[in-house]
Amino acid sequence: MTQLTVANKNERLPIIPIRDGVVFPGTEVVLTFGRQRSVSAIDAASNFNRQVVLVMQKNPNVNDPTPNDLYRIGTKATIERMFKHDGEINALVRGSERVEVVSFDMLEPYFLGRLVPVPDVGETSDQVKALMNHIVSELRKAVNLGKAVDFLIFMNIMSSPPAGDLANQVANILDIKPQDKQGLLEMNDIKARLERVDALVANEVKVLELEKKISSKTQERFDKNVRESVLRERLKTIEKELGEEENKETKELADKIAAAKMPADVNEKAKKELARLSQMSQYNPEASYVRTYLDWLVDLPWSIKSDNNVDIKQAQKVLDDDHYGLKKVKERIVEYLAVMKLKSRPQITKTSKKEAANPKKTGASPTILCFVGPPGVGKTSLGKSIAKALGRQFVKMSLGGIRDEAEIRGHRRTYVGAMPGRIIQGVKQAKTKNPVFMLDEIDKIGTDFRGDPSSALLEALDPEQNNSFSDHYLEVPFDLSDVFFITTCNVLDTIPPALRDRLEIIHFPGYTEDEKYHIAKGFLVNKQIENSGLDLTKLKITDETIRQIIRNYTREAGVRSLEREISTIFRKIAKEVAEGKKETKTVSTKDLHKYLGPAKFTSYFAEKKDEVGMSTGLAWTEAGGDILFIEVALMPGRGQLTLTGHLGEVMKESCHAALSYVRSRWKTLGLPEKFYQKIDVHVHVPEGAVPKDGPSAGVAITTALVSALTKIPVRRLVGMTGEVTLRGRALEIGGVKEKVIAAHRAGLKKIIMPKNNQKDLEDIPKYVLKDLEFVFVEHMDEVLKVALTKPLLITKSRIEPALQTTPPLQA
């Protein structure tokens, strides 16, 4: 806006003080005047062409200012319109030019002052133009950022007014203190004023931006808050829904707990855990642990039992029906069942309370059955039969390779992936608390830093303490006293003595060829025909075929391989039938090659003849008895002894002892003195992959050695066993039963064994004994007499005093 009037030098106009505000030239404002002096001044303005000068007070709080309280630079303005109300005047004023009040001529009833115009200085340079542009764009920014500007004023500014006007108009709408506005009003230089305005606008933009940022952040935060609270609400709804699910789950578990009929303390524990679970959030990882734990608790058969019907006759029948032979074993089992029946509850309640509390004192402490024997002799299947006879469930757990006590007793629940031990797992599997529980391979449990599994096992098995067996995982005791434990193993040696003490050992010695034949004929053949899905009535297998399978395709104490070979035959026949061949068939010896391939084993003696330096020993292994051949070869040398064939320490010692014995008896044996200085001796036991140990081969080694030195062959069908001392005494050995059966199986005719082992023949089936001739010896001389094909050429004079001075033989 251009100035409307040009103030002349002597111009006098009413001066109106303004408390806190500046009216810039070229701008319009509505002002309210209430003070008497101001009202009078406006009234008087009509005399001055409606013109007044508006100046700001230095201090807005001064009510009745004097000229000294006013700034000197003000704005000449025209009162465009006015409105009186209640002694106050609202007036629309328009600033026209900057003036300086140079003197006050009158103070009452209003200030009348003399004034001089203060024109703008400076030219509109490019720099000024640039400044103006910048101010306009900054202002636009400010408006965009939310600065409130009257639309008309804004349009005015946008319509490129002259530089001074622009500065004034923008200054007018700036959000700054009145003092700052006054400062702007007092700046004469347009460029300086523009610069100042520019800085102020820019500052305002900055503030606005900051505000916006803050507000957007606030908004964001607000949004976030809103979002969260919405989600939280939603979650609540979901949780409520899930809660119902959860409640359902909790209820189900509670029902299961009730149905499980646990003992009171266990029930309490389960309920406590359930309460804990129901408190837990769905997302708490512990919840799943607690749930698994509760699942275990409710799944255990706390009070589910099979009827305990021990009918001895029935039991005997079931055992007989399922198994051929094993007469002694069955007898022992039936006895055991009878004792168990006598000791069953009604009996105990008849005893005094004291006795009932401690059944051991009644002298009737039950022991744990332990079936010892090589694989495949029917230990497991007999266990199953016992369960069948008693009408109980059967479970089997293998303990082979267990080294960690936790395998038996479980891991504590704090352990990641914790589980109950095998005993509790087995009970759960049985679904009843009185199953027949077979613990397989108890001779294969080891002991190391992880605790002693066998002591945990003893605790589980021991009838005196197993009514409250504590599993680390369960934390509550479980009553195992109704479980019928049967343990099995191949050897007894490796079972810890504490455990062995509690075992009632039942030996399974292994089968003779004849027994195997009957087992195959009576049980295995039919079983395998059925297993292959074939028709029992249409298939036959000749007796000779069975015998040939036993002889030529198996070499074992049990019947596992035999069963496998029979199953192979019928599987192949089943395939043929499926391919369209007819099912009716009798398997004969001619078919064996087709179904089973060439014979795997030839008879031990088929192509053998009595030889020099080779004797037949009897051995005992985990897989039952076996026979082995001892070979001795002599070579020119210097008295060295070489031993081969994977011999154990004890067996090597036997070889050394044999050599020493022979050397000391050179005369008796008709050998040249120092014969050993010119020869090396090599003792070899074939089948090198099989480890062999023990002292019982002493007799056989010595015999082979004597035979090699004297060149007298050894009778190959004479089996021998026994330990030999340096003086030639034959000492008692173990495993007689298995060895004899193995000898019988191999087709030996005569067996030499130490006299002290005679007692062990009692347990051997009669028909085995019937086929064999036994020679019981006390000394090597007796062995040699029987084993060598020719008597030694011992002249009376050559009899070594050592033989005669041999100490009295052991009884």
Q: What is the DSSP string of 286-342?
A: HHHHHHHHHHHHHHS-SS--------HHHHHHHHHHH-SS-HHHHHHHHHHHHHHHH
Q: Which is closer to ligand ADP, CB of 113 or CB of 558? A: 558
Shortest Å, Cβ 539 to ligand ADP: 18
Q: Which is nearer to ligand ADP, 302 or 511 (CB)?
A: 511
* Of the candidate residues 212, 431, 555, 560, the single one contacting ligand ADP (CB under 6 A): 560
| 42 vs 377, beta carbon nearer ligand ADP | 377
Residues 9-38 that bind ligand ADP (CB under 6 A): none
Least separation in angstroms between CB 356 and ligand ADP: 36
Residue among 77 and 525 whose Cβ is closer to ligand ADP: 525
> First CA to last CA across the chain, in angstroms?
147
Q: Burial, 3: exposed, middle or buried (Cβ in 10 Å; 0-12, 13-18, 19+)? A: middle
Residue with tokens 């009730």: 258
Range in contact with ligand ADP (rule: CB under 6 A) among 285-293, 319-327, 387-395, 403-411: 319-327
Provide the minimum distance between the beta carbon of 797 and ligand ADP in the complex, in angstroms, as a whole number: 58
Element (H, E) at 256: helix 190-259
The phi, psi pair for 369, rounded to 5°, reads: -70, 140
Please say whether the beta carbons of 502 and 451 come within 8 A: no
The residues in 585-624 that bind ligand ADP, with binding defined as CB under 6 A, are none
Q: Is 103 in the site for ligand ADP (CB under 6 A)?
A: no
DSSP state of 349: H
3-state secondary structure 762-778: HHCCHHHHHHCEEEEEC
Task: State the nearest-atom distance from the C-beta of 770 to ligand ADP, in Å.
Answer: 20
Q: Is 462 a binder of ligand ADP (CB under 6 A)?
A: no
Question: Is position 517 an interface residue for ligand ADP (rule: CB under 6 A)?
Answer: no
Q: Is 739 annotated as catalytic?
A: yes
For the bound state, the minimum distance from the C-beta of residue 527 to ligand ADP, rounded and expressed in Å, comes to: 7
| 40 versus 561: smaller Cβ distance to ligand ADP | 561
What stretches of 326-476 adopt beta strand conformation (E)? 368-372, 394-398, 436-440, 469-470
Window 470-509: contact mask with ligand ADP (x via CB under 6 A): ----------------------------------------
Q: Which is nearer to ligand ADP, 561 or 725 (CB)?
A: 561
**Tokens representing residue 83 in the block:** 């409105």
CB of 508 to ligand ADP, least distance (A): 6
Torsion angle in degrees (nearest 10) through CA of 311, 316, 321, 324: 160
Distances (CA, A) of 808 to 569, 732, 784, 798: 58, 16, 20, 22
256 is catalytic: no
Nearer to ligand ADP, 379 or 433 (CB): 379
Number of H helices, E strands in the chain: 28, 24
Angle between helices 151-158 and 163-173 (to 10 degrees): 150
Binding residues for ATP: 373-380
Q: Site size for ligand ADP, by CB under 6 A?
A: 17
Q: Which stretch binds ligand ADP (CB under 6 A): 177-185, 304-312, 323-331, 361-369?
A: 323-331
Please tell me whether residue 204 binds ligand ADP under the rule CB under 6 A. Answer: no
Whether the CB-CB separation of 257 and 270 falls below 8 Å is answered with yes
> Of the candidates 119, 134, 143, which has an alpha carbon nearest to the alpha carbon of residue 166?
134
Q: Which tokens go with 742?
A: 């193995």
| Minimal CB distance residue for ligand ADP | 378
Q: Calculate the CA dihedral of residues 517, 518, 524, 527 and round it to 10 degrees.
A: 150
Closest contact distance (angstroms) between CB of 559 and ligand ADP is 5
- Residues in Cβ contact with 716 at an 8 Å cutoff, skipping those fewer than 6 apart: 605, 608, 609, 610, 611, 614, 616
Which residue in the set 11, 120, 556, 563 belongs to the binding site for ligand ADP (CB under 6 A)?
Answer: 563
Binding part of the chain for ligand ADP, among 35-43, 77-85, 321-329, 730-738 by CB under 6 A, reads: 321-329
Cα 630 to Cα 702: distance, rounded to the nearest angstrom:
10
325 near ligand ADP (CB under 6 A)? yes
> Which of these is catalytic: 181, 696, 707, 737?
696
- Residue 778: CB partners within 8 Å, gap ≥ 6? 729, 730, 754, 755, 809, 810
Measured CA to CA, the distance from residue 615 to residue 598 in angstroms comes to 28
- Of 305, 273, 140, nearest to 208 by C-alpha is 140
Is 422 an interacting residue with respect to ligand ADP (CB under 6 A)? no
- With respect to ligand ADP, which residue has the nearer C-beta, 549 or 788? 549
Q: Is 321 exposed, middle or buried (0-12, 13-18, 19+ CB in 10 A)?
A: exposed
Residue 440 CB, nearest distance to ligand ADP (Å)? 8
Q: Which stretch binds ligand ADP (CB under 6 A): 318-326, 411-419, 543-551, 586-594?
A: 318-326
Instruction: Classify residue 347 as exposed, middle or buried by CB count within 10 Å of its CB (0-12, 13-18, 19+).
Output: middle
Beta carbon of residue 554, minimum distance to ligand ADP (angstroms, whole number): 12
Q: Which residues are annotated as a binding site?
A: 373-380
Indicate whether 324 belongs to the interface with ligand ADP (CB under 6 A). yes
Query: Would you give the distance in Å from CA 208 to the centre of its chain?
Result: 60
Q: Which is nearer to ligand ADP, 14 or 375 (CB)?
A: 375
Closer residue to ligand ADP, CB minimum distance, 112 or 495: 495
Closest distance of CB 522 from ligand ADP, Å: 7
Q: For ligand ADP, which is the closer residue by CB, 198 or 556? A: 556
Radius of gyration of the chain (CA): 58
Stretch that binds ligand ADP, among 225-233, 256-264, 317-325, 727-735 (CB under 6 A): 317-325
- Could you tell me which residues are beta bridge partners of residue 424? none
Nearest approach, Cβ of 716 to ligand ADP (angstroms)?
Answer: 31
**CA distances to 348, 356, 360, 366 from 363, in Å:** 12, 11, 5, 9
523 binds ligand ADP (CB under 6 A): yes
Burial of 6 from C-beta contacts in 10 A (0-12 / 13-18 / 19+):
exposed
Instruction: For ligand ADP, give the closer residue by CB, 111 or 570.
Output: 570
| Residues 290 and 270 sit within 8 Å (Cβ to Cβ) | no
- Which of 99, 201, 519, 566 lies at the binding interface for ligand ADP (CB under 6 A)? 519
Please tell me the chain's helix, strand, coil percentages from 3-state DSSP, rounded to the nearest 5: 45, 20, 35
Binding mask 358-397 for ligand ADP (x = CB under 6 A): -----------------xxxxxxx----------------
Does residue number 326 form part of the binding site for ligand ADP (CB under 6 A)?
A: yes
Given 147, 433, 739, 755, which residue is catalytic? Answer: 739
The answer to whether residues 429 and 395 touch, using CB atoms and an 8 Å cutoff, is yes
DSSP 193-245: HHHHHHHHHHHHHHHHHHHHHHHHHHHHHHHHHHHHHHHHHHHHHHHHHHHHH
Interface pick for ligand ADP out of 323, 551, 737, 755 (rule CB under 6 A): 323
The residues that are catalytic are: 696, 739
> Which stretches of the chain bind ligand ADP, using CB under 6 A?
323-326, 375-381, 519, 523, 558-560, 563
